[in-house]
Chain A
Amino acid sequence: MKIRFRQTGGFGGLVLGCDLETSALPTAEAQELTRLIKKANLEKIQTRRSEKGRDLQIYEIAVENEITVKASFDDMSMPANIGPLLDFLRQRARAVPLDG
Chain B
Amino acid sequence: MIMKTDTSTDAGAGICCIIPPHVMDRLAQSSDARIRQLAMDAIANSSAMRAVRATMAMMPALAAIPSPAAKRHRLVYDLKNGEFADLPGQLIRSEGDPKTDDIAENEAYNYAGSTYNFYKTVLGRNSLDDHGMTLISSVHFGRRYNNAFWNGEQMCYGDGDGQIFIRFTKSVDVVGHELTHGVVSNTCNLVYFNEPGALNEHFADVFGTLVKQWRKRQTAKQGDWLIGAEIMGPGTTAKSLRTFKAEKAYENDALLGTDPQPKNLKNKYTGSADNGGVHINSGIPNHAFYLGAMEIGGKAWEKMGQIWYKTMLKLTSNSQFKDMVQSTTETAATLYGNNSREHKAVMKAWKSVGF
Q: Chain A residues in contact with chain B, CB under 8 A?
A: 6, 8-15, 49-58, 60, 75-76, 94-99
Contact = CB atoms under 8 A, between A and B. Distances in A.
Given A54-B181, A95-B256, A11 B57 contact: no
Nearest to A100: B257
Interface string B73-102: 000000000001000000000000000000
B273 A99 contact: yes
Contacts of B201: 13
Interface in B237-267: 241-242, 253-258, 260-261
Contact of B260 (A53, A60, A75, A98): A98
Contact of B275 (A6, A9, A15, A94): A9
A11 B274 CA distance: 11
B312 interface: no
Interface of B: 57-58, 60, 84, 146-153, 165, 168, 174, 177-178, 181, 185, 192, 200-201, 204, 228, 241-242, 253-258, 260-261, 269, 271, 273-275, 278-280
Contact of A51 (B57, B148, B254): B57
Given A10-B147, A11-B228, A54-B150, A98 B269 contact: yes
Contacts of B278: 9, 13
A12 B279 CA distance: 8
A9 B58 CA distance: 21
A91 to B, nearest CB: 11
Nearest to A9: B274
Most chain B CB within a 10 A radius of its CB, from A9, A56, A97, A98? A9
A80 to B, nearest CB: 9
B343 to A, nearest CB: 31
28 contacts: A8-B273, A8-B274, A9-B274, A10-B146, A10-B147, A11-B177, A12-B165, A12-B241, A13-B201, A13-B242, A14-B257, A15-B257, A15-B274, A49-B275, A50-B152, A51-B152, A54-B150, A54-B152, A55-B150, A55-B178, A56-B149, A58-B273, A75-B147, A76-B151, A95-B255, A98-B260, A98-B269, A98-B273
Given A12-B241, A13-B279, A98-B260, A52 B273 contact: no
Given A54-B192, A55-B147, A57-B147, A75 B84 contact: yes
B77 to A, nearest CB: 17
A-B pairs, 6 with minimum CB distance = A52-B152, A13-B279, A95-B257, A8-B274, A54-B181, A55-B149
Contacts of B204: 54
B149 A54 contact: yes
Contacts, number: 103
Query: By CB atoms of chain B within 10 A, which of A12, A49, A52, A94 has the most?
Result: A12
A4 B256 CA distance: 18
A52 B177 CA distance: 15
Interface centre among A6, A52, A94 (most CB of B within 10 A): A52
A81 B268 CA distance: 36
A11 B168 contact: yes
Contacts of B177: 11, 55
A49 B192 CA distance: 10
Nearest to B152: A52
A20 B183 CA distance: 41
A48 B312 CA distance: 28
B149 A98 contact: no
Nearest to A53: B151
B275 A55 contact: no
Given A8-B274, A11-B174, A96-B257, A52 B149 contact: no
Contacts of A55: 147-150, 177-178, 181
